[in-house]
Structure 1
Amino acid sequence: MPKILIVEGNTAEGRRRAVAARGREANLLYAESLRRIRGDLTLGVAFPADPDTALPDLAALKAYDGIAWTGSSLNVYNGGPEVERQLEFCRTCFASGVPQFGSCWGLQVGVVAAGGTVLKNPLGREIGLARKILLTESGRAHPLYEGRPSVFDAIAVHRDIVTALPENARILAYNSMTRVQAAAFQVGAGAFWGVQYHPEYTFGEIAASMRRYTAGLVEEGFFQTEAAAALAADTFASFDRGGTAGDRWVFGVDADVLDPAERLRDLANWMRFISEE
């Protein structure tokens, strides 16, 4: 029975905003996705962004089979105690030797904790779907992408990107928005697999993100009005129920993101990896 620690990347205020936009706390969403893959899990949760929270020490971390980092509304380059606590905790996780997986913010924290860099993407925000993610030669051979086609779309929302990877890291996937859509690296005995998109997300969750960032999406030119942004969010949410053929065609939503098993494939492959360790 695998034991996994979920590391929540948001502050308490960030979690409140997510729920107010009809979304879920990231740790709860991750727990639901992991249990969809495998029901016989023991899950723990850590909140390193929160001040004065108790975190597992090195000995406690070694009792876990895997550590999964969620997304976050934070920006790692802004620093501050809520970021620094997460970076320090990630370094402790590396020291434990327990395999880690990171989605979006999780990838960024792992990269920076291991010596890489993250910056705001000069190409702008990627939201809704990350289009035409291409596997590299390393990606096609990596167990993270077992069963994946060489090109696929994925649910995504991020404005920041990895600009320099840690030593000996391998880029596993990329697209026109960022050269690092996925990477794998190791610090000591600690292996880290990370993706810039969100395999754990539902369409409802990306709709909640669109509601949170409505004003910014209009300002950035994604939509002409807030009403248009709200309509798009509602349409995205409908894809959890299949949506209409017309909406799927207009938004370019195909089986690689409509099928929950396909969306979760990368996480499922990581789960298989830690179960075999």
Structure 2
Amino acid sequence: MLHLLVADGNDRAGRETHLSVCDKTSAETYAGILHALAPDAVCHLVAPADADAALPRALSDCDALVLTGSTLHVEDGGPAVTRQCDLVRAALEAGVPVFGSCWGVQVAATIAGGRAARNPRGPEYGLARAITRTQAGADHPLLAGRPPAWDAPAIHDDAVVEPPPGSTVLAGNDRLDVQAIEIRLGDGVFWGTQYHPELDLDEVAAMLRLSAEGVVQAGLCPDEAALHAYADALRDLHGDPEGRADLAWRLGVAAEVLAPERRRREIANFLDRLVRPRRRP
């Protein structure tokens, strides 16, 4: 049996907002996916941004830590950020494998000596397009099974703008050099993606609605009505991915995004290629 600690990157306000549009928290989304990919897994949820958070299981008794996305900004600092940095640092120094998407990558890069900040090339809203491996990522197990180029759900303003010393950047695209990365700290290994392999298209749609003002300000939609129409199309495509080929064509959404087993490939690779081989007796 695997014991996986799932840390929600949001503070209380962020969790409540996410819950209001997605009917589940980011940690609950991840826990459901982890259990689907590893039926023998038990997920222990924690919200480390909170001052009163207590680990439901000791790190030494966990096979892995997974850190979700967040509405927080690493550069802002503060206790809610520091507590999460401390948790990831403690896990890695204890040799616990860590996976993170979006916020998780930014936290891991920061504690290892890199820098996360607003992406100078602009945000990615909806999908990160044409992600490709670096030379170092060509045969890396995190990306096993990915085609030469792929798209993935993505919603972020911030990103890793300076990778930490000694890290291995595995993939990027024209918007961002660090779309996937490996970071080693202490006895631990971090694998992560700036994009969101955990998100279904209906969740992407819901999060876009929350970011409507930012999407319009970035020039990606002419107005909020256009953004909501785009979100409606994503939601409808999620509800009928096989029957709405018209929407997939119009939105430019291919199988790497539509098929859950392909969209979640990095999470499955983390479990199968990193966690299970290092599983504690």
In structure 1, C-alpha distance between the alignment counterparts of 2:216 and 2:106, rounded to whole Å: 26
How far 1:44 sits from its partner (Å)?
0.7
2:13 corresponds in structure 1 to 13
In the superposition, the TM-score normalised over structure 1's length comes to 0.95
2:25 corresponds in structure 1 to 25
In structure 1, C-alpha distance between the alignment counterparts of 2:23 and 2:33, rounded to whole Å: 14
Indicate if the aligned counterparts of 1:107 and 1:194 stay in contact, CA closer than 8 A: yes
1:148 corresponds in structure 2 to 146
In structure 2, C-alpha distance between the alignment counterparts of 1:94 and 1:218, rounded to whole Å: 39
Indicate if the aligned counterparts of 2:68 and 2:102 stay in contact, CA closer than 8 A: yes
Q: CA RMSD in A?
A: 1.4
In structure 1, C-alpha distance between the alignment counterparts of 2:271 and 2:210, rounded to whole Å: 31
Q: Which moved more, 1:155-164 or 1:46-55?
A: 46-55
Identity of aligned residues (%): 40
2:37 corresponds in structure 1 to 37
2:264 corresponds in structure 1 to 264
How far 1:13 sits from its partner (Å)?
0.6
In structure 2, C-alpha distance between the alignment counterparts of 1:276 and 1:122, rounded to whole Å: 38
In structure 2, C-alpha distance between the alignment counterparts of 1:37 and 1:229, rounded to whole Å: 32
What secondary structure, in the 3-state scheme, does the structure 1 residue paired with 2:61 have? coil
User: Structure 1, residues 92-149: CA drift from partner, whole Å, max 9, x if none?
Assistant: 1122110101101001101101111011012211011100000112212111111111
User: Structure 1, residues 200-234: CA drift from partner, whole Å, max 9, x if none?
Assistant: 11001111111111122222222222221111111
User: Structure 1, residues 224-261: CA drift from partner, whole Å, max 9, x if none?
Assistant: 22221111111111222216222211211001100000
What secondary structure, in the 3-state scheme, does the structure 2 residue paired with 1:123 have? coil
Indicate if the aligned counterparts of 1:23 and 1:205 stay in contact, CA closer than 8 A: no
User: Structure 1, residues 61-86: CA drift from partner, whole Å, max 9, x if none?
Assistant: 01111111100011110111111111
**Are 1:78 and 2:79 matched, yes or no?**
no
1:155-166 equivalences in 2 (<5 Å) = 155-166=153-164
2:229 corresponds in structure 1 to 231
1:95 corresponds in structure 2 to 93
In structure 2, C-alpha distance between the alignment counterparts of 1:257 and 1:23, rounded to whole Å: 22
Q: Which moved more, 1:173-182 or 1:115-124?
A: 115-124
The 1:152/1:206 distance shift into structure 2, 3 A limit, reads: same
Query: One-letter code of the match for 2:262?
Result: E
In structure 2, C-alpha distance between the alignment counterparts of 1:29 and 1:55, rounded to whole Å: 19
1:170 corresponds in structure 2 to 168
2:255 corresponds in structure 1 to 255
What secondary structure, in the 3-state scheme, does the structure 2 residue paired with 1:9 have? coil
Indicate if the aligned counterparts of 2:132 and 2:150 stay in contact, CA closer than 8 A: yes
Q: Which moved more, 1:31-40 or 1:240-249?
A: 240-249
The alignment covers a number of residue pairs equal to 275
How far 1:198 sits from its partner (Å)?
0.5
User: Structure 1, residues 2-23: CA drift from partner, whole Å, max 9, x if none?
Assistant: 1111011001110111122245
Structure 1's unaligned 5+ residue stretches are none
Indicate if the aligned counterparts of 1:4 and 1:41 stay in contact, CA closer than 8 A: yes
In structure 1, C-alpha distance between the alignment counterparts of 2:120 and 2:255, rounded to whole Å: 30
In structure 1, C-alpha distance between the alignment counterparts of 2:28 and 2:260, rounded to whole Å: 17
Indicate if the aligned counterparts of 2:45 and 2:56 stay in contact, CA closer than 8 A: no
In the superposition, the TM-score normalised over structure 2's length comes to 0.94
Structure 2's unaligned 5+ residue stretches are none
Indicate if the aligned counterparts of 1:35 and 1:41 stay in contact, CA closer than 8 A: yes
Indicate if the aligned counterparts of 1:132 and 1:151 stay in contact, CA closer than 8 A: yes
In structure 2, C-alpha distance between the alignment counterparts of 1:85 and 1:143, rounded to whole Å: 30
